[in-house]
Structure formats: C-alpha cells, structure tokens
Amino acid sequence: MSALPQSLSPSNPPRPATSPATARAWWRAVQPLAWTLLVVASAWVAGRALQLDAGSDAGYWIGVAGGAAMLALFVYPLRKRVPALRHLGATRHWFVFHMLMGVAGPWLILVHCNFRIGSMNAAVALFSMLIVAASGVVGRYLYGHVHRGLDGRHAELAELRAKLEATHEKLAVSLSLAPLVRERLFGFEQAALTAPAGNALALLWASARAARSARHDVRSLIDQALAAAPQTLEAKRRRQIRAHWRRQTTLHIEQTLGVVQLRAWERLFALWHVLHLPFVYVMVACAIAHVVAVHAY
C-alpha cells in the first residue's frame, strides 16, 4: 500500500453510529436517576400495599429502622477519618455498605410515612432527608468519574497523561499511511489539553462536543484514505485496516477526553462536598427534632 495523498479532506462525511463508549456514557448518566425512580416507586407500592400509618406500631418501628439506617451512613465517613478504624475491612466494602444504607434509609422512611406529610416538623424532617438522599445520588455519580471502582483509589491526572503520551509513537507508525487522520487526531488532542479550564460544566460540554466532531472527521478521513489506496488491495484487507484504525483512533480520543474531563469532575466533586455537608447537618437536626416531638407530644 503506497503512501496516501496529502490533499485528502472530508466531504459530506457520514454521521457515525453510536459507539459502545457513548452508550456506556449515556447509561452512566441515567443510571442514578433510574435507581432513584425504582426506589421511590417500590416504596410507594409497599406503602399502599401495607396501608401503613406513621403512628401505628408497624409504622413506628419501620420509621425507627429507617432512622437507624440513616445513622449507619455516618460509619463510612468516620471510618475514613478515625485512624483506629481504617484497618477494619476494605474501603470497597464500607462504601458498598454506605450506598446500601443510603438506599434502605430513605426507602424505609417513605414507607413509614406512606407518602403522607403530617406535622410541619415531620415535613421538614422528610424533605431534608430527601435532599440528602438526592445529594448522595449526585455524589455517587461524581465519585464514579474521579475514582476507579469502589475501592476509593483516586484517578491520577499525571497517570492518565502518561498513558495518553505512550500511544503517540504507536499511532504515528500505525497511521503513517493516513497522515490526515493522524493530523486531525493529534490536533484534537492538543486543542483539548490546552483548553482553558474555566467553568467545569462548560468544559465538560465543550470537550464532549469536540470529541464527537473529532470522531466524525476521523472516520470520514479513514474511509477516504482507504478509498485512495491502490485497487489491488483486497476488500478483506481494507476492512481489517479500517477496523484497526477506528479502534486505535477511538481509544485515543476517549483517553484524551478522560484527561481533559478529569479536571472538571474533580472541581464538581469538591463543590459537591461543600454543599453536601450542610444538608447532612440540617437532616440530623430535623430528625432529632422530629423524634423528640413524637415522643414528647
């Protein structure tokens, strides 16, 4: 296969199909909402089936169980901050326990009140709990972008950059017969890595749009590069080269996007921490006031 012409340029490039990476990204985005709706719906069904009243014996003890589950949420942050507790089990297991209690607690409280709001004190306690639960869902989504798995290991920006740079030489050799593909790929990387941080949400949006555009252009340039190849190249070999180039370029674009967006996710996660703690304090204060009011009056 001879060197391809330098004058190739995309002309009405076809719209690429949704890649598996894009599908996984969409699922990660909607997964917290899907689980939240499932928890709320199941609590509504359970409450209607049992026809509970918060003042009944069953309703009272379900409320106690829900309150205990919410208190158990504090075991995970205490385990991280108290040196004596850090050796009690793996971080992954404690985080899973934290998430389970974060689901079980609100579910039991919703069943306890059967989606009915009584006194003003109960209403404030309920809505503060729902705010904390919703904040936890958002935090879990952000956590997944700045940590690897559930073991608490933070993704390192320097490590991601090193992996990205390690692919340069391999891509330069692999795409030597498609110089415009290589030029577009490395151009996207340079522009993305030098983009100003600015607003975290704006950076996420702009980098995602730039990545989509780069995938679009690269696929078109690959097709045109192969179209300009010698006619003696077998059709099977063309398909193999196309698949190989697409895998390499898609991986490189995803790696570049990961490096760029990690900065934005870290900023959002730090901001979430600042906002989440006041909600937790309000929830605890309201829960204590609710318990005292129930037993005193």
Q: Is the pLDDT of residue 16 over 60?
A: no
User: By mean pLDDT, which of 16-20, 53-57, 85-89 is the weakest?
Assistant: 16-20
* 146 & 281 share domain: yes
* 29 & 124 share domain: yes
* 185 & 44 share domain: no
* 203 & 66 share domain: no
* 166 & 178 share domain: yes
Q: Which is more confidently placed, 33 or 215?
A: 215
* 140 & 280 share domain: yes
Instruction: Give CA separation, 193 vs 77, 80, 177, in Å.
Output: 34, 33, 26
Q: Is the pLDDT of residue 155 over 70?
A: no
Winning range, highest mean pLDDT, from 15-29, 45-59, 221-235: 221-235
pLDDT tens digits for 95-115?
Answer: 888 888 888 888 888 888 877
* 134 & 281 share domain: yes
Tell me the residue range of the domain where 209 lies: 156-267
- How far is residue 114's CA from residue 117's CA, in Å, rounded to a whole number? 9
* 120 & 196 share domain: no
* 202 & 291 share domain: no
Token pair for 189: 């990387």
Is residue 65 a part of any domain in this protein? yes
- How far is residue 155's CA from residue 158's CA, in Å, rounded to a whole number? 9
Q: Is the pLDDT of residue 44 over 60?
A: yes
